[in-house]
Structure 1
Amino acid sequence: METRHHHSRRAFLSQTGKVTAAYAVAGLASGAAQAAPAAPPQTRPMSEAGVSKLTDQHYCLTEVRLEEGFERDGEIVIGTRTALYTLEIKAGKIAALHPAGAALPAGVPCYRAHGQLALPAMRDMHIHLDKTFYSGPWQAPLPRQGKTILDMIAREEKLIPQLLPTSQQRAEALIALLQSKGTTVARSHCNIDPVSGLKSLEHLQRALENHRDDFVCEIVAFPQHGLLHSKVDGLMREAMKMGVAYVGGLDPTNVDGAMEKSLDGMFQIALDTGKGVDIHLHETNPAGVAAVNYMIETVEKNPALHGKVTISHAFALTTLSQGALAETIGRMAAQQMTIASTVPLGSLTMPLPQLSEKGVFVMTGTDSVIDHWSPFGKGDMLEKANLYAQIYRGSDEFRLSRAMAIATGGVLPLDDSGKRAWPKAGDDAAFTLVPASCSAEAVARLPERSATFHRGRMVFGSVGVA
């Protein structure tokens, strides 16, 4: 399974498309929204002689456990073979893989991984870094029952001004959380609305600039309050000039009340600016199916959009008959459209395996870590792989190892035949170390990450001194 996944806020899991969630304004006013972010989490050093900062451009990391192949009983994969290697890292790349005991380059500093397993770096491809409550005082959302998406927009219009003063610091705290979970690549949606204007975007860009050497993030300009409903076409176009990578959108029928006009507006901005599209589509009623079909038709008519459109959540796919689903997936695959799913729990089971098998790239993300939509996110992409394995009955060694692809953008240590696919000399030195025997165990048991590396830089945790 070489997929990527994403999914919507759990507030949209009901089949009616209605959502409930609210945050206690009184609690925010008393300091919850503007409290200074806490220090990012840290793990204990791997040894008392460990180091938590590497400045070397050229170094060796010894005793790294890498996967070598599958163990089989006939045709059944029953285990994973591993061995210890030294990763020689130079200028952000893996320069060489040296077997244990091999002579290492003279004069190059060495550090120890203590036999821990290297996994590919994780990718959080649907998150909202700009409006998180993370790092502030605990506050659960108010009951959701009976609230529509428009109710949520009204609530957010009151919350955003209280979040803006600390939004940059909170975004940076959340980035640190992601790094502590092995994630160094993300796609973040960022509010473009009449309340915050372009300030949320400005704050997020400052946060990302402070992490330009240890974290990569592409931004989606997200009209959370509706492209038409909040009249932000002009603001969206300004955001495109500020370096945003994707044009966002939101439920064109439930929010904007005019499916074709809303989608046309979104796609026109993308066509005019040469950007991609990543739309939140939570609608599960016939309007959601109509929106999916209209988007596919639009991409089919506009070659410039080919390979540049992501539908986040796409709950409408759960309502299709098998025949209609197969046809829709085939058309999406032909246009290289992408699905972003958070692998949701609930009554709607997304056809993620079918999408992947037919060539639609599926990716996942945290969405909400903690905010007025949901308090449950942990910022852990490996947890998403675990959830995928549970939902789609992947409890055996082979399927557990395949499930990790959803967390890594399709990068897996072994290919389906059991041949090593990662890491190889020349690859970016982007990985995380975990106390696990193989990737199947890591997906099933969710070990803590001990260290995270991005382009050769250790951005979280510690390693031992050789």
Structure 2
Amino acid sequence: MSSTFNLSRRSLLAGTMALGASGTVPALAAPGAAPAPFVLGNVLLETGYDWQGDEVVGTRTARASLLIEQGRIARIIATGDALPPGVPVRDGGGLLLLPSFRDMHIHLDKTFYGGPWVAPRARKNGIAGQIARERTLLPQMLPTLQDRAGLLVALLQRNGTTFARSQCNVDPVVGTQHVELLRQTLDGCAATFGHEIVAFPQHGFLSAHLEPIMRQAMAAGATHVGGIDPTTIDGGMERSIDTMLQIAVDTHKSVDIHLHEPGATGIAAIRRIADAVDHTPTLRDRVTISHAFSLMSLADADVANLADRMANLGMAIASAVPFGGQIMPIPTLLRHGVRVYTGTDSVIDHWSVFGSGDVLEKAKLACQIYGWGDELAISQSLKLATGGPTPLNAKGAQVWPMPGDPADMVLIPASCSAEAVARTPARRAVFYRGTLVAGSLAG
């Protein structure tokens, strides 16, 4: 194995044992039936905003209990009302209850997380240079992929995330092995963690002659057909996009394309995808464009027009909320009804060593970038971490939790959503479908 990368299974498992000894890595529950009914008592729920004129000056809350049955919220019980007899009660400690989080763009298959430090290398020749490095790096990492992915899932859970859409390499070097191994890992923790897998042609789609392998990846368990910059990497925008979408139609799968390329070529790709969705009803509400940096090059009016069309077609954006000389127009996209997801993208890998695996930090970063500094704006930014749900809508009506909602929840020591985003406190207890998957309850 190369001296620049030495993540052996022995060293990885030693690191895992050390983490486990400190009590910071919860064991993943075995797949099985939903937990027995219980009452999650003494939790804080948001009930509305306090207004002065048209300004929100505070968030109202009340203590309540929740009856959890078959992995869902069956009933919300006001303080003082009778609890269902014979059902065990678990104390929420008076903590704020929020929807758990969804990481909608992460690479679980390529992380170094859980292993020894791997010295980051200076990038040479941009994305192409990183891809060239993968040709030798990924085969070295293959024996420990499942261990590393499992450790990263546990980190996400501790951070309050109970669902991830993972990009997963499909390329001439590893073929569909990453998809197969990651699917086995995620299927093994299906009772504690939800997931989707994108077959991601990192090295190119048509340029790497991957169409047959991509189709094999769909059969191997991928839920989404991925893509990569069709002009700058794949060398043929129309044919690259058309092939990607055709595979999705043929296999009845969704689409999530990496679109880093800026400017006119990126916008042309978005418009071609929109045209295809417009003419193919089965693709509506099933296409996500990850990154979409080219939107930063458009004038505000042009972004608004394109956002209207994307919203009408059910097209979504998945962003890691980057910042720099140009800023993604996320506020405009949201105003025009585009679903905007966020993800942590690279978590300690050869692309970036800085990822924390915490999407709540992404919501906070968005507030700082876009000047969302008041109670209402910060509160509503929580949707970036949850993938949509917030306890209150923008008018202050309580919309979560509701009977029938999945019991995907996180308990946080905060007084309201705005405080949770602004201060990103530790997540005390995390539930997926009613199962406690990280942290602990009072007492």
**TM-score range with shorter-chain normalisation?**
over 0.9
Deviation of residue 437 (structure 1)? 0.6
Mapping of residues 95-110 of structure 1, within 5 Å = 95-110=74-89
- Partner residue in 1 for 2:285: 307
- Cα deviation per residue 1:263-309 (whole Å; 9 max; x = unaligned)? 12211211221211110000013222221222222222322222211
Aligned counterpart, 2:336: 358
Contact 1:80 1:438 in 2 (8 A): yes
Counterpart residue identity of residue 427, structure 2: R
With over 3 angstroms needed to count, the CA separation of the structure-2 counterparts of 1:328 and 1:301, relative to structure 1, is same
| Partner residue in 1 for 2:377 | 399
Residue equivalent to 1:221: 199
| Corresponding residue of 1:79 | 58
Residue deviations 1:179-212 (CA, integer Å, cap 9, x gap): 1011111111111111111111111011112101
Which residue does the alignment assign to 1:199? 177
SS at match of 1:157: helix
Give the direction of change, closer, same or farther, for the CA distance of 1:277–1:56 in structure 2 (3 Å limit). Answer: closer
Match for residue 119 of structure 1? Answer: 98
1:6-85 matches, within 5 Å, as 26-29=3-6, 31=8, 35-36=12-13, 38-39=16-17, 57-85=36-64
Q: Between Structure 1 and Structure 2, how many residues are aligned?
A: 435
Measured after TM superposition, the shift of residue 34 of structure 1 is 6.7
CA offsets, 1:367-389, max 9 Å, x none? 11110001111111111110111
Amino acid in structure 2 at the alignment position of 1:120: P
Distance 2:66 2:73 in 1: 7
Contact 2:7 2:115 (C-alpha < 8 Å) held by counterparts? no
CA displacement, residues 219-256 of structure 1 (integer Å, 9 cap, x when unaligned): 11111110122211111001111232110000111111
Residues 404 and 443 in structure 1, CA contact (< 8 A), matched pair in contact too: yes
In 2, distance between residues paired with 1:379 and 1:365?
8
Aligned-partner Cα distance in 2 for 1:286–1:172: 40
Rounded to whole Å, the distance in 2 between the matches of 1:122 and 1:258 is 37
Q: Distance in 1 between the 2:9 and 2:38 partners?
A: 44
Q: Counterpart amino acid of 2:3? A: A
Question: Quick one: distance in 2 between partners of 1:140 and 1:120?
Answer: 37
Work out whether residues 104 and 342 of structure 2, in 8 Å CA contact, stay in contact via their aligned partners in 1: yes
CA distance in 1, matches of 2:29, 2:111: 28
1:427-442 equivalent positions in 2, closer than 5 A: 427-442=405-420
Map of 1:109-188 to 2, 5 A cutoff? Answer: 109-144=88-123, 146-188=124-166
- From 210, 216, 220, the equivalent of 1:242 is 220
Structure-2 change in CA distance of 1:42 and 1:147 (3 Å): farther
RMSD across aligned C-alpha pairs, in angstroms? 2.2
Kept in 2, the 8 Å contact 1:32–1:137? The answer is: no
Q: TM-score, normalised by structure 1?
A: 0.89
For the 8 Å contact 2:43–2:63, the answer to whether it is kept is: yes
Which amino acid in 2 is paired with 1:131?
Answer: K
| Aligned mates of 1:53, 1:63 — CA distance in 2 | 25
Quick one: distance in 2 between partners of 1:381 and 1:255?
A: 29
Amino acid at match of 1:320: L
Identity, in percent, stands at 49
For residues 61 and 303 of structure 1, the distance between their equivalents in structure 2, rounded to whole angstroms, comes to: 42
- Is contact 2:35-2:71 (8 Å) kept? no
8 Å Cα contact 1:339-1:361 kept in structure 2: yes
* Equivalent-residue separation in structure 2 for 1:430 and 1:288 (angstroms): 36
1:313 and 1:404 map into 2 onto residues whose CA distance is 19
Distance across 2 between alignment mates of 1:379 and 1:104: 37
Q: Do the aligned residues in 2 keep the contact of 1:53 with 1:458 (CA within 8 Å)?
A: no
Would the aligned equivalents of 2:102 and 2:359 in 1 still touch at CA under 8 Å?
yes
Q: Is the 8 Å Cα contact of residues 33 and 133 (structure 1) preserved in structure 2?
A: no
Contact map agreement 1:184 1:216 (CA 8 A) in 2 = yes
Matched, 1:449 2:427: yes
Note the C-alpha offset of 1:148: 2.2
Query: Which SS does the other structure have where 1:243 is aligned?
Result: coil
Name the CA distance, whole Å, in 2 between partners of 1:76 and 1:429. 32
| Greater relative contact order (CA < 8 Å, ≥ 6 in sequence) | 1
SS of aligned partner of 1:432 = strand
